[in-house]
Amino acid sequence: MGKFTKNALAYLEPRFQLSALAEFGKKKKVPEHKYSFWYYFGGLCLFLFALQVMTGIFLLLYYTPSVDAAHESIQFIMSQVKFGWLIRSVHSWTANILIGAIFVHMFSTFFLKAYRPPRDLTWVSGFFLLIFFMAFGFSGYLLPWNELSFFATRVGTDIAGSIPLLGRALKTFILGGAGVSGATLTRFFWLHVAVLPALALFIMGIHIFLVQVMGMSKPIGISKIKEISFFPNFVLKDALVWLLVLTAIGVICVFLPWEVGRKADPFASTPIGIKPEWYFTFMFTTLKIIPAHIFSLTGEVLAILGFMLGGLLWMLVPYLDRRAGREMKSPVFTVAGALIVIYIIVMTALTYLAPRL
């Protein structure tokens, strides 16, 4: 250890209690078993979020949130700013990979029944993080003010407007008026860079705190489990995964930089085949294929109510799955989870494979 490092540590030690933190890391154990692989998705989400924050901060240097300049500023970032293309592509690609990683993390947690008390609040906070990150994606998608994002936002907010009772008011609040306009862009920007980061950081803090306090959950039915220390063993493995994902992101960004698209024209007709970001498509396709009326109720409204109820039940899973709470296997929930996964995959695939549904 060099003299400088020694001095720095000596300075920081009384102020941050570093040795206590290191001791906590060494004492903290992470179970190692045949499903341990899934543990890395939590850390991966954190890493991708950090990338989002860093690249987002750089983008703020040049991005202008106004109808007249938003698209032009993105074009400027992509063509004139040194490494602007890389920063913006990393931001956009990572956003999508992050949502995918959150889904994987959530379903792996579900199938390993890691939500069972006392980790119920970790699950609930994770559920809110999923909602926040989907909102991040939805609000960020409009910011380049291109044709696709403009009309996808219009479609998305129309769906929100169909929510019974609250829909109309909610839509007006989201849009800042009757339709997608400059006011919407300002609101989405406000949401994307101020409100959602604050909320996400707060909930993420709780989520990580709970994970650290209670440690990783052990799968039901596995009695003898080997354990490794959180620091440095697990942290180093986490870092290795992060490095590999970072390389993959780099390759994707060089060969497939995120496109700028054509500037949105509010007076143009909606392009054929417009659809939201991939993580909303399972809901979008459901709304498309659902019959117009079911038992004298509007199909679309029924589907939206179904999704809302489904989301609520999903959040309350730790309290519904009593068997898992008693450390017993709960195949009903496993089957239900598997059906939900199949449903999401099929509906998402249909969006792209059968766009004229």
Residues that bind another protein (CB under 8 A): 75, 78-79, 85-86, 229, 232-233, 236-237, 239-240, 243-244, 246-247, 250-251, 254-257, 260
Whole-angstrom Cα distance, residue 281 to residue 286?
Answer: 8
Whole-angstrom Cα distance, residue 215 to residue 57?
Answer: 32
Phi, psi of 226 (to 5 degrees): -75, 150
Looking at the Cβ atoms of 15 and 82, the one nearer to another protein is 82
Task: Name the nearest CA neighbour of 83 among 110, 42, 54, 115.
Answer: 54
Looking at the Cβ atoms of 1 and 357, the one nearer to another protein is 1
* Nearest distance, CB of residue 34 and another protein, angstroms: 17
* Nearest distance, CB of residue 236 and another protein, angstroms: 5
Looking at the Cβ atoms of 45 and 260, the one nearer to another protein is 260
* Nearest distance, CB of residue 29 and another protein, angstroms: 10
What are the helix (H) ranges across the chain?
A: 3-16, 18-27, 40-60, 70-79, 84-111, 120-142, 147-161, 167-175, 182-190, 196-214, 235-255, 281-289, 299-315, 317-320, 322-325, 331-353
Locus of tokens 């479609």 = 155
Looking at the Cβ atoms of 90 and 101, the one nearer to another protein is 90
Phi-psi region for residue 75, left (φ > 0), alpha (ψ -120 to 50) or beta?
A: alpha
- 348 and 142 in contact (C-beta within 8 Å)? no
Q: Could you say which DSSP state residue 177 is in?
A: S
Looking at the Cβ atoms of 214 and 239, the one nearer to another protein is 239
* Nearest distance, CB of residue 237 and another protein, angstroms: 6
Looking at the Cβ atoms of 75 and 334, the one nearer to another protein is 75
* Nearest distance, CB of residue 26 and another protein, angstroms: 9
* Nearest distance, CB of residue 233 and another protein, angstroms: 6
* Nearest distance, CB of residue 243 and another protein, angstroms: 4
Cis peptide before 117 (omega within 30 of 0): no
Looking at the Cβ atoms of 226 and 293, the one nearer to another protein is 226
Whole-angstrom Cα distance, residue 88 to residue 47?
Answer: 17
